[in-house]
Every structure is written in structure tokens, then in C-alpha cells.
Amino acid sequence: MKRWLSIWCLAGVMAGAGLSSCKDFLDVKPNDRFTGADYWRNANDARMGVNAAYSQLRDQYTKCIQYNFADFRPGNYDFWNKNNFRAIAQNDLRSSAITGTDGANVPRENWETWWKSIAAANLAVARIGGMNASQIGDIEKAQLIGEARFVRSYVYYCLVQNYGNVPFQFSPYEIDMKPKSDHVAILDSCIIDLRLAADALPVVYNDPTYRAVRATKGAALTLMAHMYMWQAGFDKPRAEDLNRKAAAACKEAMDLGVYKLLPYEDELIDNIFKGRSEEGIWEISMDVNYGNITGNFISQWVLHQPVIASATNVYGGLGSEITIKRDYLDILYPPGESDNRFTLWFDDPYNSVNPQSQMFLKYSSVSDPIARRYDANMIVFRYSGLLLLRAEALANTGDSDGARELLNEVRRRAQASEFVGLDGQALKDAIFLERVRELWGEGHRWFDLVRTGRVTDISQCENALSQDEFDRGAWTWPIPIAAMRKNPKITQTAYWAQ
């Protein structure tokens, strides 16, 4: 019991400064009063408690390849000397090539930070809920509880995508060890929690530095929609109803009127992918001005001189560490067809002399080229992705006209040709491929392949799984051995137990 309690309450040593700046918002510091009787006495205590949950979440993203492994795992890259990424793309997740370099081994060996974030959020929901009107105003109380609900639901969503079935707990006080729960059922509980969060969260914050990096009503609705679509891929009897609910959640977020597609133009592209734009819905805050630095971000591996100092001397420093395979680029952007994304995001993709010359420029907001530091948030949910998710849900429920219009709205922004008269499976395939194009480098592709079942299709996934492998959980990461030692009720996923 003591071991299990330590897993869920580790965030009890976390607290931090107030909310006066973006730096204060996430830079929490150790404080052993966090679970003490003299804590949770005023609004500032409540703010710090919620900040601890956000902070642990960001720590998980910055210490490993969480943000981008879903881009690499399907393959379709030339990984050159990045053998750790190649092993991930070959689903060889126990390979000795997957080491601490780039934080590639963290998902396999340590999930503790996820649980610290959940523990902090669980504690915040419970303790803030017990505060009275003399300690905190009703509006701020509801908002902070909503933020904590959002963070823990988002973390569970990540755990489900990474590991499938995991232990589940919303109470900060239970100490019994728990076995794994069904991942679809976990999301059922999270969706209920997110509806409560959405009803309490603001549509926007008065402080512009909080845009997209603090939970909002739109972020909660967007997360709900993604959860519904994940469930639909695994719960076939409920699939049509879940698709309808996803479409409705997307529409509710769209109708808030605070998001829009920004022009894909050379002068504006950095603003979108630096973060906090009108297109951003939910992002992991990374601001170099406050010392938020990570080396585990896609820009490290897809850029070289003169944009940043090259990581290697390959081709005289004019080579990216990984590049998208040219045949797959031709699938995404057929030669001769106009698309501003190809023009703006790819530099020298077809160099026959230097095959590593290609650069992917989506995240090229560089603050210090020599030190290889970037000034860009990790964008989780963006408005174009929301539109395409609703398009997918509508296509799955027979509304081809509505789905096609949303698909073409995204394509018009990219100045790509529109689809006319597309219907049925062809429309569904077009929407899926559009999500691949639009969200490349944003950490969605593997999860989209898994939830739609396309991960077993060699034409969709370079290193496709067999149906038997999929059914036994080959799409997950192995449960960390350390976690099973701490909690013997947790069993290894069938595929990784072999």
C-alpha cells in the first residue's frame, strides 16, 4: 500500500509561485506543505496546486520524445543514423538502440511523471472543492477545478494512447493498488469529467499569454471529441453514436467563435506554429524567454544550417538527421498539384546529390541557431485538426456533403484543389490523408492509424501490424517494468509479454 500511495501522491511535494506571468504559471518548485493542513487556505494555494499538474505534464513532454514519436512510429522516414527512431518505426521497442538519447527510452521505462500530474490534479479537484467562499471566489474556484479536471483527463488520454489499458483513479485518497482498467471505459469516465470542466472553464482568458496553454472550454470540447473518436475505433457497437457525439463536440467548439484558420503565407507561418495564435486550441507552453528548453522536439532532427547549427557534419553540415521519404512525399503532395504546405514547409526535398538536404520548416522559429534553441509551443490541438476530425465523424455517419465542405475548407486555406463529388470510402480516405498532410510533425499520425484500424494496412503504414499483433496490443508501448514491480496487480500487455 505504501508503494501505491507514493505513486499517487508524489505530486504532494510540488507547489509554486502565483499566476502573475507565464513563467510563474508552469515553473513550480518543491514545497513539502502541499498536502499539509496549513495548505489550501486561499486562492493562491489553489492556483499553485493546479499549476503543479500542468508543470508535471510539461515535464513529461520535455524529457522525452512524447510529442513526436507518433510521427516516427509509422515509418515513411529515412532515419539515416538515428537508429533509435528506426527501431521505434519497426516496432522494435525493446531494442538496445532505444536509449536515453533523445529521451527515446522514457515511454518504455518510466511513466511516473504522468502519474504525478494525475495525482496533483486529483488533489486539486478534491481540496479546492472543499474550500469555502471566504478562501476563494466561486468563479475562480470552478475554473481551477475545471482546469485540474482537464489536465487529468488529458493525461489519461495520453496514457491510453501510449499503453492501452492502465490503472484508473480519480480520488487522491484511495491507497489500494489497482489493476488495469479497460481504456474505452476510462475514457467514458474522462468524458463525463470533461463535460463538467467545459461548463466551468472560460472561453478565453483576459491574459493573452494564457491563450491555448491553459485549459479552456474549447480545449475541453476538443479533447472530448478526440476521446469519442478513439472509442469509436475500439467499441464497434457504439461506433456510430460515438462518431455523432464527436461531431457534436467539434461543432460546439467551432461555435464558440474564437478559433479560425490563419492564412498559410510566408510572413504568417511562424506565428501559427510558434503558438498562442487564433488557430491554437491546446498547446504545451514552451517559451525560451522563461528558460523553457527541450532537445526532444522534431526541429532538432529535421533542420540544419543555415537555419540552425547542424547536429552532425554530414554533407558539410548541410544534412538533416531524418528526412521524409521522397516516395511518400509524392503521395502527400502529388507532383504538379499546387499546395502551399509543400511550398512553405519543405526546403530542397528532391536533392539528388545530397539526400539529407531536405528540411521540414513547420517548426523553424529559432531563437538561438548556435545553441539550437527554439521558441515554439508543442501544439496538441489546432483548429484545422478539429475541422478535419469533425469531417471524419460526419463522413462516418453518412453526411458526405458536410464532411466534404470541411475538408475543402482546410484545402482552400492551403490553396490546394477542392474535392468535388467525393463520397463513401474514397471520402474517408481523403480526409484521413488530409489529416496526415495538415498535422505532419504534430504528433497525431500513429494514433490516427491505430484508432481507424489503418495501422494494419501496408499502403497506409510502412511497417504495418498484422491483425493478430494489433489485437494483442502491439500498437502500445510496453508497460514499464518498474511500474509492475511497484504494483503487482498491473500485468504486461499481451504482445509485449511474449
- Write down the pTM of the prediction: 0.94
Lowest mean pLDDT among 32-46, 118-132, 328-342: 32-46
Q: What is the pLDDT of residue 268?
A: 85
Which pLDDT tens digit goes with each residue over 332-356? 999 999 999 999 999 999 999 999 9
- The dihedral of CA 31, 297, 207, 385: what is its sign? negative
% residues pLDDT > 90 (the chain): 85
Which pLDDT tens digit goes with each residue over 447-497? 999 999 999 999 999 999 999 999 999 999 999 999 999 999 999 999 999
Q: Is 120 exposed, middle or buried (0-12, 13-18, 19+ CB in 10 A)?
A: buried
Which pLDDT tens digit goes with each residue over 364-420? 888 888 888 888 899 999 999 999 999 999 999 999 999 999 999 999 999 999 999
Which pLDDT tens digit goes with each residue over 77-95? 999 999 999 999 999 999 9
- What's the pLDDT band for 437 if we cut at 50, 70, 90? very high
Q: What is the pLDDT of residue 372?
A: 83
User: Which residues pair with residue 347 across a beta bridge?
Assistant: 359
